[in-house]
């Protein structure tokens, strides 16, 4: 591909069954500076089948691929979180796998038009494109050398306790919501 896309995103995934070779293509695009954004799913750690009464965490692919939206901070940040977590959620997660989300964005009550109807929608279908727009603006800012201005959660339906909040990365919001001005400043260093 002579001219790669500015960003690749999708807001759909499937419960992880096995690593797929598509991860290698994501790594190649990422090496060219193309953000690859995948939603971690509206079901959170219960996978895409939030209605199931799951008692274990289910990774969603391709969000679990190590080459999508995975900055270098993650290893230390996740290790710090797992250390603070202690024995909470023991046996429910693979502590050696890729953690997600990396970041989060507000995804509730977006106003859209579908045909002649005005609708309010929520979920990853809203937050993923929102963060993708931030990624495109950051890439443009770096390329042009200028800046543009633009709790606890239940873990599964199976009755497991929620995640414990702490400073830094957490499995509910990653590092949190983007602050474009601060990100653009960091990207231009």
Task: State the pairing for strand pair 8-10/36-38.
Answer: parallel
Residue 2 counted as domain residue: no
Residues written for the chain: 189
Long-range contacts of 151-156 (CB under 8 A, 24+ apart): 153/44, 155/44, 155/45, 155/46, 155/57, 155/89, 155/92, 156/44, 156/45, 156/46, 156/53, 156/54, 156/55, 156/56, 156/57, 156/92
In a domain, 125, yes or no: yes
Residue 1 inside a domain? The answer is no
Nearest partner of 32 among 69, 3, 9, judged by Cα: 3
Is residue 130 within 8 Å of 107, Cβ to Cβ? Answer: yes
The two three-digit tokens of residue 173, written as one number: 């919001």
Q: Quick check: is 116 in a domain?
A: yes
Sign of CA dihedral 145, 10, 130, 181: negative
Structure tokens at 142: 């770096």
- pLDDT value, residue 168: 81
Residue 189 has a pLDDT of 65
- Identify whether 86 is part of a domain: yes
15/18 Cα distance (integer angstroms): 9
**Distances 114 to 117, 119, 120, 124, 130 between C-alpha atoms, Å:** 5, 7, 10, 18, 18
Other CB atoms within 10 A of residue 38 CB: 25
Residue 48: per-residue pLDDT? 62
Q: pLDDT tens across 66-87, in order?
A: 788 757 667 788 888 888 888 8
pLDDT value of residue 124: 81
178 occurs within a structural domain: yes
How many structural domains compose the chain?
1
Please indicate, yes or no, if residue 117 is contained in any of the structural domains.
Answer: yes
pLDDT, position 159: 58
CATH number at residue 66: 3.40.50.200
**What pLDDT is stored for residue 119 in this prediction?**
92
Report yes or no on whether pTM surpasses 0.75: no
Domain-located, residue 161: yes
- Residue 11: both structure tokens together: 């807001």
pLDDT at 185: 86
Residues 6+ apart with CB under 8 A from 85: 164
Residue ranges in the chain whose pLDDT is less than 50: 146-151
Looking at residue 162, its pLDDT comes to: 66
| Range(s) of the domain holding residue 136 | 8-187
Is 60 in contact with 15 (CB distance < 8 Å)?
yes
Terminal C-alpha separation, the chain: 28
């Amino acid at each position: 591909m002579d001219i790669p896309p500015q960003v690749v995103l999708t807001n759909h995934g499937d419960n992880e069954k096995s690593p797929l070779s598509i991860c290698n293509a994501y790594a190649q695009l990422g090496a060219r500076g193309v953000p690859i954004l995948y939603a971690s799913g509206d079901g959170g750690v219960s996978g895409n089948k939030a209605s199931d009464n799951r008692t274990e965490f289910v990774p969603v692919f391709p969000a679990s691929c190590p080459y999508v939206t995975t900055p270098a901070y993650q290893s230390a940040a996740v290790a710090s979180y797992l250390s603070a977590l202690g024995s909470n959620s023991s046996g429910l997660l693979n502590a050696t796998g890729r953690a997600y989300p990396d970041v989060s964005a507000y995804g509730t009550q977006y106003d859209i038009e579908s045909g002649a109807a005005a609708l309010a929608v929520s979920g990853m279908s809203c937050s993923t494109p929102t963060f993708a727009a931030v990624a495109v603006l950051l890439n443009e800012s770096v390329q042009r050398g200028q800046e543009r201005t633009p709790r606890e959660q239940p873990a599964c339906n199976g009755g497991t306790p929620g995640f414990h909040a702490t400073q830094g990365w957490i499995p509910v919001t990653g590092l949190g919501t983007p602050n474009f001005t601060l990100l653009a400043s960091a990207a231009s260093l």
